[in-house]
A = this chain, B = another copy of it.
Amino acid sequence: MDRRQQKTRAAIFTAFTTLLTQKSYSKITVQDIIDTADVGRTTFYAHFETKDDLLKALCEALFQHIMDSAKDCTHTHGLYTNDQPESIFCHLLQHLQENDHHILELLTCDQSGIFLRYFQDSLSALIESHYIEPSDQFVVPRDFLIHHISGSFVEMVLWWMKGHQKYTPVELDQYFRCVIAPILSKLS
């Protein structure tokens, strides 16, 4: 890919994430992005059709990164093991806490909905790719179960953020185990 394209693309992404930490998505204008990225108006529209398009591209890049990292984790040890303190959820939480790509800011911004959906869809796909056997006592549809796990995890992260990370990733992981484990026969 052309070096020039990469540069401008990176400049726009950086400008956008920087702006997102300063003001809410809805208040950020294309003009702001152009000014911050120091990029020509024409150039921006050559890369992205709209502001929403940019947001989408950013989401895809970010969560692909996050989930790839999580997948690496599942190669070495299973999706969730009790003896091993570092579950995939704990790993995700720690990865998020590092906040190297300002994901946490994005998750709590006013337009967080878009990011949350991406986050959850990625997570659902990850959980889906591993077989989860529901506990015999609790008969719920498979899709319901997967969504419940990914959904409550995403919700938990959001709540964690809003409370300014009052708990550590390890603590949170433990709590999450408590509320999820009883449903699954493999854990508990």
Binds B, one of A10-18, A41-49, A79-87, A138-146: A138-146
Distance between A30 CB and nearest chain B CB, rounded to angstroms: 14
Q: How large is the interface on A (under 10, 10 to 19, 20 to 34, 35 or more residues)?
A: 20 to 34
A residues near B, CB below 8 A? 26, 52, 110-114, 116, 138-141, 143-145, 147-148, 151-152, 154-156, 158-159, 163, 167, 175, 178-179, 182-183
Contact B159 A155 (CB under 8 A): no
A159 touches B152 (CB 8 A): no
A179 to chain B, nearest CB (A): 5
Give chain B residues whose Cβ lies under 8 Å from the Cβ of A147: 155-156, 159
A-B contact pairs, 11 of them (CB 8 A): A26-B52, A112-B113, A138-B178, A141-B175, A147-B156, A148-B152, A148-B179, A151-B151, A152-B152, A179-B183, A182-B183
